[in-house]
Structure 1
């Protein structure tokens, strides 16, 4: 392959990146750093918005629980149409007959009472259908008022509502902590993909120039054709890696866009590089606090345990008596037609107090209390297991961070040595003391060292972000710590 064809191939490869730049110029790019990415995500991500809505929902639930302590007033209205009116029989004469002392009345009065008694209480065996009572249309309208005076379970429900709000707030905080962790790792992944792409592209450009130099030396008869073929093979072998790095950069960009809750078609322009974070590693103090006081999982679990305890108290309060007062004011009208203007409305009202003392429920209350007790014991054991798991996670993250710091330091030295070795190999090759194989091996060593260094930095930042998620707060640099 002649130099002109090689340069055309290089131009075509770099045009992939140039096309993205052109599109970014046509569409406004979003320039972000880590802080702005976190700020956008915390304000636009749907998960955070849903968690905030949950807090509002629990606040309304608390107000609803308080509302149960106030009087409950209902306006009632009803209409009933009798298909068949009720039949009533008065076997004892409706106050006449067996209860009458004949000595108290004259014979004429006794005859009148006997006739009147038969009219008011016909004998069902002799008179047939008896007396039908009521009218076909019954209209009712009124007001019912009920107010709890002593209902212990309502008071406990209010306490449960307060715990629900605190749990919703902690869940919202957990959503933010988890989102921050995801955004940081997505941002660092984008930096890793971007840096890897830049390293591969720079390597391609350098090897392209070396290939041109080798071709010139071949044309002068200084090196063999094997050197040209070997250099071309190495150059072409970089193209798939460059394309893969570009694809990984696009995927990381889409992931970060999704987490920030913005349109995925909007190009991102991230500022900074992993090298800048490498310089701050020595300024970070990793805390040795494993108390988990700020861990969201522990806080949520403790609030859920408080809910279970309140539920247990409610089950015990089912044994307690309750006192409720009620008031009713009703107007009723009974008619056989629909001439509303002629209706007569009769008032009816009552006021009373109801005392309810639980005595026996088939053992339901007792068994419900026992279930709640077992649940509390289960939660106690589960909390111990959760705490052990979180402390183990912290220890693993500590080990990962320390290992990654060692890898970063080692990779820094590897990069310097690999670059120095590459320079020496090039000089040996130019003086005829080295081979093209040595040059390619040295160039590959530089590339691997560069990529390993950036991967080590990413691993450190990801482990640090995971540790911050577990302990529940961000690990600040030395200069930001308030001593």
Structure 2
């Protein structure tokens, strides 16, 4: 009967309340925002993404350097000896030459387009980092609610195990007084053993979920604040798929990054085409050294004319007109054209995927709203079904297999209800991420529905159902 279900839940909750209190003091429970902050500070993937952004941002100053003056300086120390056989003559020259060279590009179309491509790539890197940071918000929520989901699942399997244990005890009692045969005992034992195995698996899943949270944040957590059943289950605002799709097309971070990727590819194509264009540089040089070192003299007369240190200065323009490079430039143009085509197709593919995800998630949230209510009602329906089945078993119209199946359906409906709640929360966040509007404020909005005294063994059921069960238990205490 329903009172037996209520008793099973009450016993399961009472048997675990003290152990939960010992394992998870209220002061050690962590909230959702804290988990996100720990992830933002310690997540290895985010740190790698930031390092990648810092590295990619250097392409701009590197490209700009090709348009700025290039100045070099150096020195040359030499000792040269020359010997002529006929007539026999030996001469030597030695000394040091100091030199400086300056080059200023005046017309370098390829380098200009390279700079524009670098700027577009930098903007792409900024948006991709922002997308990674935004994705961490979702990852934090997914890891957090995965723990809560696993804990609620464990609590329901504990209650289910307790209910099957009571059914086994009842089957043994009935067998002892001759009201049932051994088959009922074996069926009840099988049901209890299955429930016990499910509880062991559920316990492992809780530990796995905590481990995933540790991997994300590099922090160990002993307990988390749970989500209240009073969390409003509402349709997305606005409840218009087209509005969400339009928002995603304009604000989705990955889609915006793909736009800059196309811009960079277009500028790179222009850069390659500019390989056919002439280049013009202003050049200047300065040299200082002794006469021998600079090579002004070839005979004694010139030595007398140019003795001591000599300086050379030159300034001019250097024009270079590419004529033929073995087909290299043309090949690079063809390659860049195909890279541009590839980038445009990837952007279109991403756009379609974003539209699909946005529409799917919008439908998912609306479905979740109805599913949560339906799953909650199914708990009530399965409670009634279990009560009717147990009555039928008592009067001989149902067998124990029917009772065990009804119990499984009841606790399955409890797990389905909790899964629907968590799916609703996460699908809401995923919808906002697809639309490009997800921010830490969305976690702050969920924060107000977290319970610092959340106990999965007591709170895995909606409060109104739990209170109804307790009231019925008190009203039938003579049983």
Instruction: Give TM-score, length-normalised by structure 1.
Output: 0.72
Superposed counterparts of 1:302-451, under 5 Å: 302-318=259-275, 319-332=277-290, 346-362=309-325, 363-429=327-393, 435-451=399-415
Paired position in structure 1 for 2:149? 192
Q: Give yes or no for contact 2:104–2:281 (8 Å, CA) kept in 1.
A: no
How many residues in Structure 1 have an aligned counterpart in Structure 2?
411
Distance in structure 2 (CA, Å) of the matches to 1:455 and 1:215: 35
Change (3 A) 1:436 1:295: same
Q: Give yes or no for contact 2:124–2:258 (8 Å, CA) kept in 1.
A: no
Distance in structure 1 (CA, Å) of the matches to 2:428 and 2:161: 33
Please state whether the residue corresponding to 1:166 is helix, strand or coil: helix
Paired position in structure 2 for 1:76? 74
Taking only aligned residues, the RMSD between alpha carbons, in angstroms, comes to 3.7
Pairing 1:280–2:233 present:
yes
Q: Give yes or no for contact 2:103–2:281 (8 Å, CA) kept in 1.
A: no
| Deviates most, 413-422 or 62-71 | 62-71
Q: Give yes or no for contact 2:284–2:314 (8 Å, CA) kept in 1.
A: yes
Distance in structure 2 (CA, Å) of the matches to 1:359 and 1:239: 81
In the TM superposition, residue 452 of structure 1 has moved relative to its aligned partner by 2.2
Change (3 A) 1:201 1:77: same
Distance in structure 1 (CA, Å) of the matches to 2:335 and 2:66: 27
In the TM superposition, residue 198 of structure 1 has moved relative to its aligned partner by 0.5
In the TM superposition, residue 403 of structure 1 has moved relative to its aligned partner by 4.0
Q: Give yes or no for contact 1:45–1:259 (8 Å, CA) kept in 2.
A: yes
Q: Structure 2 residue aligned with 1:37, among 2, 19, 35?
A: 35
Distance in structure 1 (CA, Å) of the matches to 2:27 and 2:73: 62
Q: Give yes or no for contact 1:51–1:168 (8 Å, CA) kept in 2.
A: no
Please state whether the residue corresponding to 1:417 is helix, strand or coil: helix
Distance in structure 1 (CA, Å) of the matches to 2:171 and 2:308: 114
In the TM superposition, residue 175 of structure 1 has moved relative to its aligned partner by 1.0
Unmatched 5+ stretches in structure 2: 1-10, 294-306, 446-479
Change (3 A) 1:449 1:330: same
Q: Give yes or no for contact 2:233–2:369 (8 Å, CA) kept in 1.
A: no
Pairing 1:160–2:117 present:
yes
Paired position in structure 1 for 2:221? 267
Any idea what the Cα deviations from partners look like across 1:342-392, whole Å, max 9, x if unmatched? xx9623222212221414124543443344344434433443333223323
Q: Structure 2 residue aligned with 1:251, among 208, 211, 229?
A: 208
Change (3 A) 1:286 1:188: farther
Distance in structure 2 (CA, Å) of the matches to 1:403 and 1:129: 107
In the TM superposition, residue 40 of structure 1 has moved relative to its aligned partner by 2.1
Pairing 1:141–2:98 present:
yes
In the TM superposition, residue 245 of structure 1 has moved relative to its aligned partner by 0.7
Superposed counterparts of 1:105-254, under 5 Å: 128=86, 131-135=89-93, 137-212=94-169, 215=172, 226-254=183-211
Distance in structure 2 (CA, Å) of the matches to 1:284 and 1:290: 13
Q: Give yes or no for contact 2:63–2:114 (8 Å, CA) kept in 1.
A: yes
Unmatched 5+ stretches in structure 1: 1-9, 89-126, 336-343
Distance in structure 2 (CA, Å) of the matches to 1:194 and 1:472: 31
Greater Rg by CA: 1
If asked which structure has higher relative contact order (CA below 8 Å, sep 6+), I would say 2
Instruction: Give TM-score, length-normalised by structure 2.
Output: 0.73
In the TM superposition, residue 306 of structure 1 has moved relative to its aligned partner by 1.0
Distance in structure 2 (CA, Å) of the matches to 1:132 and 1:368: 55
Any idea what the Cα deviations from partners look like across 1:159-200, whole Å, max 9, x if unmatched? 333223211111101212332333332223222211110001
